[in-house]
Amino acid sequence: MNPSPLAVRCQNVVKIYDTGDQKVTALNGVNLEIAMGELMMLVGPSGCGKTTLISVIAGILDQDDGYCEVFGEDLLSMSNQRKLNFRARNIGFVFQAFNLLPALTAAENVSVPLIINGMKRSDAERKAVAVLEQVGLGARVTALPSELSGGQQQRVAIARALIHSPRLIVCDEPTSSLDHETGHNVMTLLKEVALHKDRALVIVTHDARIFDFADRIAEMDDGHIVGVKGAGLKAKG
């Protein structure tokens, strides 16, 4: 029997931040497999390495040791240009701090991944407006990030991560600034976009209200995955 194909495979991944006077081991041998079609949540205490791990998975950070593969590709072995292209096509990332471009409107921010992938600006912005409508921001498409609330900025960041239909969407606390109903709507939309049989969704969260959306929940502590709860198991808050 063939095992189901994997979207992500991490083996003994190590990441050490070296700030000159201090070395911090953020990932200390992470093993994790995420299947195609799976929504994996990642939980664990502050500082345990969640953001670091998803940054390695998304090719934003290079690990210092171990192996990490996304859709069968080893990002570490790619040239910078190839990695940029691969990420632009295949990966959407919602940053914990949103990372919107302050001088661009909501619609312009959301259209960036499409423009990077070669779409005409006017077409990209039209599509961006449609996705902003889906996240409930149809009336704010011309607003700058500084003119939006935290929850609205978060939804712009989510729209930007999914607009180009990437095969892997990685979200760092995507519902932290959202009320229950908006968080629920955003999760439903993320699931709809991301969960095809050749795609996957990874969500770092502390938000127990969205645990039910997960197929599995991986628990991290001190740079390790300490357990993975399978489908059907209710996670506790």
Ligand X SMILES: Nc1ncnc2c1ncn2[C@@H]1O[C@H](COP(=O)(O)OP(=O)(O)OP(=O)(O)O)[C@@H](O)[C@H]1O
Binding site for ligand X (CB under 6 A): 17, 19, 24, 26, 44, 46-52, 96
For residue 171, the SS3 value is strand
Per-residue binder mask for Mg ion (CB under 5 A), 24-53, x = binder: ---------------------------x--
The least CB distance from residue 40 to ligand X, in Å, is: 15
Nearest to 87 by CA among 126, 61, 106: 61
CA atoms of 38 and 18, how far apart (whole Å): 34
- The DSSP 8-state label assigned to residue 209 in this structure reads G
Beta strands in 37-114 (DSSP E): 39-43, 65-70, 73-74, 91-94
The least CB distance from residue 57 to ligand X, in Å, is: 12
Q: Which is nearer to ligand X, 49 or 59 (CB)?
A: 49
Q: Which is nearer to ligand X, 51 or 90 (CB)?
A: 51
Q: What are phi and psi of 99, to 5 degrees?
A: 50, 45
Instruction: Using alpha carbons, list the distances in angstroms from residue 216 to 13, 34, 99, 204.
Output: 20, 9, 27, 12
Q: 86-107: b or e for each residue (b if 16 or more CB lie within 10 Å)? A: bbbebbbbbbbebebeeeebbb
17 binds, among Mg ion, ligand X, none (CB under 5 to 8 A by kind): ligand X
Q: Which residue is nearest to Mg ion (CB)?
A: 51
Q: Which is nearer to Mg ion, 51 or 154 (CB)?
A: 51
19 binds, among Mg ion, ligand X, none (CB under 5 to 8 A by kind): ligand X
48 binds, among Mg ion, ligand X, none (CB under 5 to 8 A by kind): ligand X
Amino acid, single-letter form, for residue 40 = M
Kindly tell me the burial class for residue 16, based on how many C-beta atoms sit within 10 Å of its own C-beta (0-12, 13-18, 19 or more). middle
Contact status: 152 vs Mg ion (CB under 5 A): no
Q: Which is nearer to ligand X, 51 or 153 (CB)?
A: 51
The least CB distance from residue 123 to ligand X, in Å, is: 36
The least CB distance from residue 17 to ligand X, in Å, is: 3
The least CB distance from residue 113 to ligand X, in Å, is: 23
Q: Which is nearer to ligand X, 126 or 206 (CB)?
A: 206
For residue 172, the SS3 value is strand
Q: Which is nearer to ligand X, 190 or 204 (CB)?
A: 204
The least CB distance from residue 49 to ligand X, in Å, is: 4
- The DSSP 8-state label assigned to residue 75 in this structure reads G
Footprint of Mg ion (CB under 5 A): 51
